[in-house]
Amino acid sequence: MNKLWTTLLKPRAWIAKLLLVFLGISFFSIGFLGYLQPIKEFLDSDALSFSAGDVRFSVYLLATASLAIMILFWLAGIFSEFGETRIKSLHKVKVSNRSLITKAFQTVVYFIAFLIALDVLGIDLTGLAIFSGAIGIGVGFGLQKITSNFISGIILLCEKSVEEDDLVELSDGTVGFIRHTGARFTLMETFDSREIMVPNEDFITNRVTNWTYSNSQGRVSIDIGVSYGTDLDRANELILEAANEHPRCSKLPIAECYLVDFGDSSVNFTLYFWVDNVTKGRKRPRSDVLFSIWNKFKENKIRIPFPQRDLHIKSGEIPK
């Protein structure tokens, strides 16, 4: 149903646009020649009308209003689409700024179309004052979330805290790239190519981690244990060597290795190193460094222990 209304108000095929133009011109031509006068008088009769305050509504007025609103918003949709295309062609302007300008342009276009529709229909909003309170409360409750998401989207575009192609992590642990920020939702693509439509309000009210807000670096941590009796200085040297040899390991900050604990069955180290571009992933360099550490330990006869348990069984007679 939403797709149908979108097609009617904003047709994209030129054939559909020409057809609507032809139907509109034909309708108004027939009305101008007077052929629709009997139908107009019947639909505008007192039997098919009602009043709300000082405003009189009839079937003819409602039908004319529906047609006029559809044509106006159709023209507004075409004009906003044309403006959006022109704005997106401004490559010297940042993507976030282009999105903000597009939203402002579309809002102005549809607001002007709404005012023109009221003027064409001759509707005076002051005549609906008796319903303004009820309508305001109904719209307030009904469009509360939509309005909140729309305003949140504008805030995101103005603050630039979340932009297109940023790598973000939501409060529920979902990680993905921002692909588009719309009026109601932000499109997020995860690593497994799922496209998640996140309400804009969630980025304002919840905690969001932006891995690429000020830079694209990301830290990788690896815990390693070696057996007692190992040359700890040599083990530390080999661990750092494995990290620094990886092509994606950052030069700054430098890789660091710390001896963190004397465990029950191993001496434990923690390795920290950084990758320059976290959007390319951290699992692959982590896996490569682990393989390198394994091979270097094997070449230098350094053993990685595992927990062992000894079970002692005592046999004997049970005292009576």
- Max avg pLDDT among 45-59, 84-98, 146-160, 200-214: 200-214
pLDDT of residue 105: 76
Q: Which residue has the higher pLDDT, 55 or 263?
A: 263
Q: What is the pLDDT of residues 229-260, one digit of tens each?
A: 899 999 999 999 999 999 999 998 999 999 99
Q: Which residue has the higher pLDDT, 227 or 148?
A: 227
User: Can 164-210 and 218-299 be said to share one CATH topology?
Assistant: no
Q: Which residue has the higher pLDDT, 249 or 84?
A: 249
Return the structure tokens found at 81.
């689409």
The answer to whether residue 318 scores a pLDDT higher than 80 is no
Between CA 16 and CA 22, with CA 20 as vertex, the angle to 5 degrees is 115
Q: Mean pLDDT score of the chain, rounded to an integer?
A: 77
CATH 2.30.30.60 fits 164-210, yes or no: yes
Return the structure tokens found at 258.
């710390």
pLDDT of residue 259: 95
**Radius of gyration of the chain measured on its C-alpha atoms:** 34
Reported confidence tier of residue 4, pLDDT bands at 50, 70, 90: very low
Share of the chain above pLDDT 70, in %: 63
Q: What is the pLDDT of residues 89-148, one digit of tens each?
A: 776 666 666 666 777 777 777 777 777 766 666 555 555 554 455 555 655 565 677 778
What average pLDDT does the segment 68-86 reach?
Answer: 74
Q: What is the pLDDT of residues 142-196, one digit of tens each?
A: 567 777 887 887 788 777 788 888 899 998 889 999 988 777 788 999 988 899 9
Q: Which residue has the higher pLDDT, 314 or 86?
A: 86
CATH number of 218-299: 3.30.70.100
Domain ranges, ordered by start, for the chain: 2-142, 164-210, 218-299
Q: Which residue has the higher pLDDT, 292 or 130?
A: 292
